[in-house]
C-alpha cells in the first residue's frame, strides 16, 4: 500500500482475505495464514526497508500487530469502528510479552531500552509471575502497568441462587445528579457536584480558552495544550478513584448487584433536525441536549460498571444487567405502569398511592427484575423507602 508521509504497514489496514504477505503455511490443518501471521512474517522485510524499525524490540512489534488484529476482529464483529491509521508519533503505548521484563526493587528491565528506575506507586506482592507489561505515555509522564498472576490464590466461584439472600441484593439505578441510587434507599452522589471537581472543571475551561487563543503552530500553544492535557489526566484520575470507591461501597455486604442495561451511545445521540416550511430549521433542543450529553459522558457509567464488575468478581458477586424498560414508571407494589406515576424527584402511584424517591423506586424495580432473572421470588420483599418527606408529597 502506498501513501504519503510515513507509510508503515503496521498502521495500514489489514485485509482479512490475507492480501498482505504470503498466504500459506506448512500446517496441514489450517494451511492459510491469519492476517496476524502474514504480517508478522513480513516484519524482517519491513526492517530491511525501514531501518528505524530495528531500534524497536521485535516482540513489541509483534504485540502491536496483535493489538491491530484485535482491533480488526472487533471491527468485523461490529463492536467498534474501523481502526484509524496511526503514524509513529501517535502511538502512546507498547506492550511486552510474558517473560521479557525483569523487576528488581524499583528498577525495571525493558528489552531494547535497558534498566530503568520507576516510582513504586504500590507494593508488588511476592510469589507472582509477571504477565504482560504495558508502557504508556500520558500527559504527565510515562507509566508502566504490570499484569501479575499468583496461581496459589484460587479464583472465587460466582455465587449461585441458593447462596444469595434477597435482602443482600442491591438494585442500582444510574443517574446524573445521583450517580447511583440503591434499592435500599442509599444514594451515592455524583462527584461532578463536588466543590473540588467543580473547581477543576472551571480551571479546565479557563486553560482550554487560553490555549485556543494562542497562535497556531507556536511553542506557547503547544505548552498551553500540554497543560490542558495534564489537567484532563488529573480529572480522569480522580474520577477513576471515586469510581473504585463507589465499587467498594456497592460490593460491601452484598450477594448480588443488579444494573439496568443502558444504551449509552443511544442516549447521547443528537436530536433530529426539525425542518420548517421556508426551508430552514426550527430549534430542536440540541444545545440543551449537548449539555446533557456532556453530563452523561462525565458520569462515565460504562467505566463505573466495568470497575464494579472487577471488584465484584473478586468476592464472587454476580453482576446482572436487566432491561430498563418502564423501571421509572412502574409501581413495585401494585405493578401499575404509568408515565404520570413519576413526578420529577418523587414517585407517587396514581393507582395505590405508594410513594418513594423516584430514583430509589427505579432501583427497587431493577432489583425485582434481577431477582426474577436469578430465579428468586421477589414478591415477598418489604419495600424500602428513600428520603421522601410528607411535606414534599403534599407540595404537588
Ligand atoms: Zn401502585
d(CA 46, CA 69) in angstroms, rounded, equals 18
Q: Note the pTM of the prediction, 2 decimals.
A: 0.78
- Give per-residue pLDDT as tens, 329-350: 888 888 888 888 888 888 888 8
Kindly state the average pLDDT of the residues 213-229. 94
Query: 1 pLDDT exceeds 50?
Result: no
Q: What are phi and psi of 369, to 5 degrees?
A: -65, -40
Residue 348, CA distances (Å) to 181, 252, 332, 361, 368 in order: 17, 31, 11, 10, 18
Query: 263 pLDDT exceeds 70?
Result: yes
Pick the most confident of 28-42, 151-165, 246-260, 364-378.
246-260
Q: How confident is the model at residue 307 (pLDDT cuts 50, 70, 90)?
A: very high
Q: How far is the CA of 176 from the centre of ligand 1 (A)?
A: 26
- Is CATH 3.30.450 what the domain over 161-190+246-268+303-395 is classified as, yes or no? no
Known catalytic residues are 173, 260, 359
Q: How far is the CA of 319 from the centre of ligand 1 (A)?
A: 28
- Give per-residue pLDDT as tens, 184-194: 889 999 888 88
| Extents of the domains making up the chain | 9-90, 93-149, 161-190+246-268+303-395
Scanning the structure block, which residue is given the C-alpha cell 475551561? 205
Q: How far is the CA of 173 from the centre of ligand 1 (A)?
A: 19
Cβ(312)–Cβ(319) under 8 Å?
Answer: yes
Query: 20 pLDDT exceeds 60?
Result: no
Query: If you ran DSSP here, which 8-state letter would residue 380 be given?
Result: G
Q: Strands 129-138 and 256-260: what pairing?
A: unpaired
Scanning the structure block, which residue is given the C-alpha cell 420483599? 381
Query: 110 pLDDT exceeds 60?
Result: yes
Query: 140 pLDDT exceeds 50?
Result: yes
Q: Strands 256-260 and 319-322: what pairing?
A: parallel
Q: How far is the CA of 182 from the centre of ligand 1 (A)?
A: 20
Q: How far is the CA of 361 from the centre of ligand 1 (A)?
A: 11
Virtual torsion, Cα 41, 43, 45, 49, nearest 10 deg: 160
Query: If you ran DSSP here, which 8-state letter would residue 163 be given?
Result: G
Amino acid at each position: 500500500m502506498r501513501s504519503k508521509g510515513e507509510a508503515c504497514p503496521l498502521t495500514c489496514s489489514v485485509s482479512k482475505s490475507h492480501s498482505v504477505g504470503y498466504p500459506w503455511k506448512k500446517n496441514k490443518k489450517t494451511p492459510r495464514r491469519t492476517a496476524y501471521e502474514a504480517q508478522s512474517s513480513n516484519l524482517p522485510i519491513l526492517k530491511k526497508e525501514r531501518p528505524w524499525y530495528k531500534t524497536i524490540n521485535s516482540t513489541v512489534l509483534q504485540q502491536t500487530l496483535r493489538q491491530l488484529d484485535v482491533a480488526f476482529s472487533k471491527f468485523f464483529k461490529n463492536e467498534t469502528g474501523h481502526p484509524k491509521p496511526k503514524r509513529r508519533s501517535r502511538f502512546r503505548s507498547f506492550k511486552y510479552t510474558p517473560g521479557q521484563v525483569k523487576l528488581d526493587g524499583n528498577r525495571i528491565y525493558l528489552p531494547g531500552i535497558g534498566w530503568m528506575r520507576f516510582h513504586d506507586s504500590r507494593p508488588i506482592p511476592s510469589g507472582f509471575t509477571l504477565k504482560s507489561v504495558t508502557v504508556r505515555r500520558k500527559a504527565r509522564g510515562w507509566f508502566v502497568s504490570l499484569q501479575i498472576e499468583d496461581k496459589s490464590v484460587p479464583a472465587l466461584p460466582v455465587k449461585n441462587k441458593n447462596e444469595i439472600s434477597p435482602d443482600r441484593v442491591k438494585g442500582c439505578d444510574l443517574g446524573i445528579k445521583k450517580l447511583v441510587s440503591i434499592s435500599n434507599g442509599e444514594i451515592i452522589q455524583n462527584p461532578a457536584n463536588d466543590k473540588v471537581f467543580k473547581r477543576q472543571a472551571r480551571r479546565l475551561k479557563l486553560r482550554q480558552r487560553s490555549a485556543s487563543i494562542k497562535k497556531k503552530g507556536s511553542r506557547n500553544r503547544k505548552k498551553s495544550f500540554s497543560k490542558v492535557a495534564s489537567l484532563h489526566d488529573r480529572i480522569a484520575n480522580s474520577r477513576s478513584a471515586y469510581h473504585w470507591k463507589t465499587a467498594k461501597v456497592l460490593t460491601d455486604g452484598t450477594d448480588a448487584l443488579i444494573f439496568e442495561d443502558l444504551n449509552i451511545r443511544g442516549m447521547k445521540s443528537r436530536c433530529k433536525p426539525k425542518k420548517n416550511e421556508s426551508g430552514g430549521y426550527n430549534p430542536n433542543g440540541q444545545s440543551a441536549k449537548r449539555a446533557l450529553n456532556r453530563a452523561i459522558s462525565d458520569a462515565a457509567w460504562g467505566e463505573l460498571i466495568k470497575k464494579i464488575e472487577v471488584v465484584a468478581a473478586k468476592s464472587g458477586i454476580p453482576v446482572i444487567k436487566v432491561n430498563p424498560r418502564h423501571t421509572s414508571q412502574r409501581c413495585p407494589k401494585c405493578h401499575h405502569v404509568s408515565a404520570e406515576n413519576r413526578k420529577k424527584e418523587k414517585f407517587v402511584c396514581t393507582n395505590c398511592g405508594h410513594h418513594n424517591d423516584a430514583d430509589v423506586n427505579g432501583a427497587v424495580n431493577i432489583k425485582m427484575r434481577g431477582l426474577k432473572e436469578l430465579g428468586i421470588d421477589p414478591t415477598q420483599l418489604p419495600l424500602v423507602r428513600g428520603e421522601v418527606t410528607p411535606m414534599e408529597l403534599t407540595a404537588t
